[in-house]
Every structure is written in structure tokens, then in C-alpha cells.
Amino acid sequence: MAENPAYPVGLRLTGRRVVVLGAGQVAQRRLPALIAAGADIHLVSPAATPSVEAMADAGELTWTRRAYEPGDLAQAWYALIATSDPEANTAASAEAEANRVWCVRSDDADAATAWTPATGHSEGVTVAVLTTNAKGRDPRHTAAIRDAVVEGLRDGTLVAPHHRTRTPGVALVGGGPGDPDLITVRGRRLLAEADVVIADRLGPRDLLAELPPHVEVIDAAKIPYGRFMAQEAINNALIEHAKQGKAVVRLKGGDPYVYGRGMEEVQALAEAGIACTVVPGISSSISVPGAAGIPVTHRGVAHDFTVVSGHIAPDDERSLVDWAALAKLRGTLVILMGVDKIGAIARTLMENGKGADTPVAVVQEGTTAAQRRVDATLATVAETVLAENVKPPAVIVIGEVVTVRPDSSSEASE
């Protein structure tokens, strides 16, 4: 084979005759893309996989049920040769060469006149990768490059600033529990496309370091609010930047609608006539216990879990939580923002019937490199948190699921 590199080209096959010889696993993988391209597909094979048969039954291709015969490639624009008969493949390849039909061979790529690239798709972009080295083609290397490029397109890291798809308005993005890898693909892409990012302290801060230098990053906690409440100042900042035609991302920890005051911001933006989209995030209420090895439900132990905000003490008149009712639940209690009030919370639960020996785990900085877990009981958790110097952000888990371990099994009946 000549050592010159292959010439990359995109084939427009709509309505054009494409001949596929063989209907095994190779054809099964390649046919969907040919169908999507609108090709006039003629399949020649005595048998086919169930998936290929289904394509024929659906009218997506024409199937001639026999082995290859000379002349089958007449009028073809493109051919895929993938039979299990090497002699038939060689003969068909020769026919393709004689008729100037671009031909792909599954059994001998070097004898073919065309290669099928590793392809991927993202946001209207098709990625096609061909690689060669001193030993010839390397499909695994090709696929790895394809995957890296597609991932970069999906998370926005490969989009040059002047080619970004800028959508003026505001996106409320849930950043997840802390690990930057746990943000959604859409959330990461919106960050890469942003002009302004207004970030919470609990958002995945590591992601901010990846942003291009032109992106303005604003710490929500440091917005001067003067006579306004802090939340009002954040709302005003979102509106001000959006009205300048900028793409604004409001980066929050966890999910925007789980104790994130997301709806307050959506309402303020709606009143100002600003377009807003909300991108869900992984809530720390489930992910952080899981990262610490705690299932919030477990067969025979807990069939339900309740998530509660602990930032307001049980005896505070502003509290909307029925702590007496929570104390009577058999399931798991997950308390967010409750480190500072854990003493009052534990005392109230015990006063209302929750056992003093109920297991408790406090997970600080969950899913990050600084994660640590402190175990206690309802009776000892307040002093344990103080002694261990546990600081927010932390998730508190109360219930028997705290004692479940990978090497243990529950003997309780469901």
C-alpha cells in the first residue's frame, strides 16, 4: 500500500446506490450510518443478523439473499465488503477497482480504496478520525482520539471563544456536590460558553480555573449589597449582565432547586423579562452519603429517606419543619446545612422519641479530595462535631443505614 496519507472527504450518499456485501456484525455496525445518510442500500448476503433483518423488514434497505456474484457492484457509488469469504472479498474488491467504486474491506484494510473513520457527533458537529502509524492503521488509537474530541465538544473545552454559541440570557447551572467531574455535560458546556459566571461558595470551584481568561468570574458572596438583601444583589447582578447581551451562568452547588434559592432567581429574571434556563445538578443529599459509603435506602433497613434543611433551629419560629413528625419516621433523615444547629436538632429529635443510640454520620466536603466522615450517635453527635472541628459544607445522615457496610447484609425483613 502506498504510504501517502488518506485524503479525508465527506460523502453525500442521499439517493445514491451503496452495495453492502455480508450482513454480519461489521455490516450491523455500519448500516445505521448509511441509512441515516439516506443511501440507496443494496445488501447482498445469504444470511443476516437479527438486527440487519429488522432493517430490511423496515424497508431501510434492499436485501438480495445470496452470496456475492460478479456484477453486483454495477452502478454503485460506494461499497462495503464484509463477507466471511476471503476469496469473495478479493473478487469484489477487484470489481470495485475496475469500476472505480470506492470500497471498504473489513478483512483487509490495506487492500481497500477507502477506510471508515471513527465517527462521533455533538451539537450538529460530526467528528471523523483516521490515524496511521509506522505499523499501519490503529483502530483503538483512532477511537480514543474520537472520544476525546467529542467529549471536548460536549463539555465546551474545545470550542474556541470566537466560535462559541453565545446565547444571551441566564443559565442556572447545578454544579453538583463538589467534585468537578460530577457536573452535567450541558452545565460544563454552558460554562465554557459564558461571558460572566456568578458562582456560589458551594459550587465546584475547580471548574472556574478552566475558564478562558476573558470570562468574568464573580463570587456571589462578595457582591456588595448595601441596603439590599444579599439575594437581591445577586438577582440584580444577573439582570444587569444579561441586559448587556451577555451569556451569564449562575453556578450553584448541588441542584439549583434544592435549597439553592433557584426559583427566587428565576422569578426575578422573569419579572425583568430575561430568558432563563435551569440545568439540574446532582444533589449532595444523595451523592455525598453515597460517596462516603452510605446508602440512603437499603433493603430491610430503610425504604424511605427525607431531606431536611437544618439552617434554622427547631425552636426558631421561622422553622417550617415538623421535627416531631420526623422523629417518628423509621427511614433515613438527611440534613443539609445543619452543622451549626446539630445540637438543637439532635436534642429535639430525641425529645420527640428518636432513640439516643440512633447512628449518625457527618460527611464533610463530600466527593472532594478533602472528604472525611465522622460517625456518632444522636446522643453524641453534637460533641463529636465540636471535638472533630467539623465545618460546613457537610451532610448529616441519621438512621440505621449509617451502619451498613459493603461486607455486611441486613437480616431484617422487608
Digit-coded pLDDT (tens) for 375-389: 999 999 999 999 999
Any idea which architecture 285-403 has in CATH?
Answer: 2-Layer Sandwich (3.30)
Contacts of 270-278 spanning 24+ positions with Cβ under 8 A: 272/239, 272/242, 272/243, 274/169, 274/170, 274/238, 274/239, 274/242, 274/243, 275/167, 275/168, 275/169, 275/170, 275/242, 276/169, 276/170, 276/171, 276/172, 277/169, 277/170, 277/171, 277/172, 278/171, 278/172
Question: Is 341 part of the annotated catalytic residue set?
Answer: no
Topology at the third CATH level for domain 17-116: Rossmann fold (3.40.50)
Judge whether residue 137 has pLDDT over 90. no
Residue 128: which pLDDT band, with cuts at 50, 70 and 90?
Answer: confident
Residue appearing with cell numbers 460517625: 375
Side-chain-facing half-sphere of 244: CA atoms under 13 Å: 10
Q: Which residues, including other chains, have CB under 8 Å from residue 225's CB and lie 6 or more apart?
A: 232, 233
pLDDT band at 413 (very low <50, low <70, confident <90, very high): very low
In 261-295, which positions are buried (b, 16+ CB within 10 angstroms) versus exposed (e)? ebeebbebbeebebebebbbbbbbbbbbbbbbebb
| pLDDT tens digits, 199-213 | 988 888 888 887 877
On whether the CB atoms of residues 203 and 281 are closer than 8 A, the answer is no
- For the domain made up of 162-279, give the CATH fold: Cobalt-precorrin-4 Transmethylase; domain 1 (3.40.1010)
Q: Which three cell numbers stand for residue 233?
A: 444583589
Among candidate residues 200, 252, 341, 354, the one labeled active-site is: 200
pLDDT digits (tens, 9 = 90+) for 214-230: 889 998 877 776 665 68
**Domain residue limits, the chain:** 17-116, 162-279, 285-403
What are the C-alpha distances in Å from 16 to residues 75, 76, 95, 289? Answer: 9, 8, 18, 56
108 is catalytic: no
Among 60-69, 106-115, 136-145, whose mean pLDDT is lowest?
Answer: 136-145
pLDDT, position 1: 42
Look at 37-46, 153-162, 177-186, 233-242 and tell me which has the smallest mean pLDDT: 153-162
Radius of gyration from C-alpha coordinates of the chain: 30
- The predicted pLDDT at position 162 comes to 46
Residue 192 has pLDDT above 90, yes or no: no
Model pLDDT, residue 2: 47
pLDDT at 333 over 80: yes
